[in-house]
Chains A and B, each alone.
Chain A
Amino acid sequence: MKYILLMSGTKAGVRNYQAWCQTDIDAHMSVLRNLQKELDESGEFVATQGLAIPDEAKIVRGEKDGLPVTDGIFPEAKEFLLGYWIVDVRSPERAHAIAGRISTAPGPQGVPTNMPIEVRQLVTGAQKTS
């Protein structure tokens, strides 16, 4: 079963993160790197990706005169995707456990961020509409 673990945050949350000191960032990244290594070794790792900060985010809706209609204004409360992990696991509980590990990654002064991680199952195109 493939699951995607989504880490999201508001622009205010991203600004806080950008103010972390280097030691805190290094500690955070080190935990995430170790987790990825573990998932690689257990054969559960599929993919991970980080997204650029949301300042340049655009919403595109259709076309006008052959050009895409773009909009870059978002409500302050909008949750932007910051990054994701795709894992291939035996049960939803295992996906939840991995998400819990990501949530324990340390923040400022080594205190776990307790970031909420959204866990969703992936589907193939055929199953999606059933």
Chain B
Amino acid sequence: MKYILMMNANKASWDAYANWSKEDLERNVDFMRAFGKELREAGVFVSTEGLAWPDQAKIVRAGENGEPITDGVFPESKEFLAGYWVIDVESPEQAYQIAARASAAPGPGGKPGGVPIEVRQLLSGFADLGL
């Protein structure tokens, strides 16, 4: 079963992250590297991506002639995806355990960040939409 583990954050959280000390950032990045290695060694790793700062985020809708209409204004409370892991596991419980590990990634001062991780099952194809 494939699951996606997502880290989302609103603007206030991104701003706070921008003010982390170099030491705190390095500690967090070290954890993320070790975590990725651990997932690979456990044979559950599928992919991971980090997203760029949301300053340049755009919402695109098609115009009347199909041309893209972009909008870059978002509500303050909007949660922006910061990054995700895709894992292939035996059960949802295993996905939750791995998500808990990601949530414990060190934040400022080395304390576990307690970042909320959204866990969702992936579909393997259009047929899985069950429609």
Residues of A within 8 A of B (CB): 4-6, 18, 20, 22, 25, 29, 33, 47, 49-52, 54, 56-63, 67-70, 79-81, 86, 92, 96-97, 99-101, 103-104, 112, 114-125, 127-129
Q: Which residues of B contact A67 (CB under 8 A)?
A: 97, 100
A6 to B85, CA, bound (A): 15
Cα of A37 to Cα of B20 in the assembled complex, Å:
43
Tell yes or no: B61 within 8 A of A by CB. yes
B56 at the interface (CB under 8 A from A): yes
How far apart are the CA atoms of A60 and B102 in the complex, in Å?
Answer: 9
Interface residue B108 (Cβ < 8 Å from any Cβ of A): no
Report whether B96 and A122 are in contact in the complex, using a CB–CB cutoff of 8 Å: no
| Contact present for B49 and A100 (CB under 8 Å) | no
Contact A100 B69 (CB under 8 A): yes
Residues of A within 8 A of B92 (CB): 56, 58
Within 8 A of A (CB), among B45-104: 47, 49-52, 54, 56-63, 66-70, 79-81, 83, 86, 92, 96-97, 99-100, 103-104
> What distance in Å separates the Cβ of A96 from its nearest Cβ neighbour in chain B?
4
Q: Is B16 an interface residue (CB 8 A)?
A: no
Question: CB-CB < 8 A to A116: which residues of B?
Answer: 59-61
Complex Cα distance, B80 from A122, in Å, reads: 13
A5 vs B66: C-alpha distance when bound (angstroms): 17
Q: Give a binary string over B24-43; 1 marks a CB under 8 Å from any A CB, 0 the rest.
A: 01000100110000000000
| Interface pairs A-B: 9 shortest CB-CB | A100-B68, A68-B100, A99-B60, A60-B99, A121-B52, A52-B121, A103-B62, A104-B62, A68-B96
A118 partner residues in chain B, CB cutoff 8 A: 57-60
